[in-house]
Amino acid sequence: MNEEIKQEDSIENTESAVVDNSIEKLIEENNSLKLELKKYQEIAANSQSQYMNLKFDFDWFIKRVEREKQEWNVKSLLDNFALFALFIEDLRKSIEDVPAEIEKNNWVKWVALLYVNLIKRLQEVCIHQIKAIWLEPDPQNHEPISMMEVEDENMKWKIVKECEIGFYYQKWDTKIIIKPSKVIVWS
């Protein structure tokens, strides 16, 4: 019987050793998996941070390219308009200098209508005429080229005539003087 007890104790000890050994292996494996998980979590956190930085840089780049594209479009529009402004001024002067006897001519009316439509079309691309007549000269918008004497003190320092019309570009909060008005001022 003692032998049976010894055998049972030996079996229990063996089973206990196997269980202890298995638990140790599981604990080691668990610790190894925890370290591996921590490593992958760090990699994921770094990857996410790098992705966010890259996305921010890309979004900033896209905005900068769009802004530069808009600036280039405006510059191109203004450069082309500067060449066209002389034609508009010649057209305006031609209409003003029409003799009274042919003012009712259909061709003259057509040219005047063409001028009015041209000014409207310019407003559609954000180019506007500078207002001048009866205003005080503004150094940004008006270039006085001559002065005339006036008796009425209320009219002193007012613009009496526009020799050349001026234009400005305005879209949202951007205002660019393309060409100031050349004016005659009463003094």
State pLDDT tens for residues 50-74. 999 999 999 999 999 999 998 999 8
Q: For the chain, report the end-to-end CA distance as a whole number of angstroms.
A: 137
Q: Which CATH superfamily is domain 126-187 in?
A: Head domain of nucleotide exchange factor GrpE (2.30.22.10)
Task: Estimate the share of the chain in helix, then strand, then coil, as percent rounded to the nearest 5.
Answer: 65, 20, 20
The fraction of the chain above a pLDDT of 70, given in percent, is 90
* Residue range 126-136: mean pLDDT, rounded: 93
If one compares 132 and 7, the residue with the highest pLDDT of the two is 132
* Residue range 5-24: mean pLDDT, rounded: 67
How would residue 3 be classed by pLDDT, with cut points 50, 70 and 90?
low
The fraction of the chain above a pLDDT of 90, given in percent, is 62
Domain boundaries, the chain: 1-125, 126-187
pLDDT at 2 over 60: no
How would residue 154 be classed by pLDDT, with cut points 50, 70 and 90?
confident
pTM for the full model? 0.66
Q: What's the pLDDT score for residue 22?
A: 81
Name residue, tokens 């057509």. 110
Beta strand 167-171 pairing with 174-179? antiparallel
How would residue 8 be classed by pLDDT, with cut points 50, 70 and 90?
low
Q: How many CA atoms lie within 13 A of 177 on its CB side?
A: 14
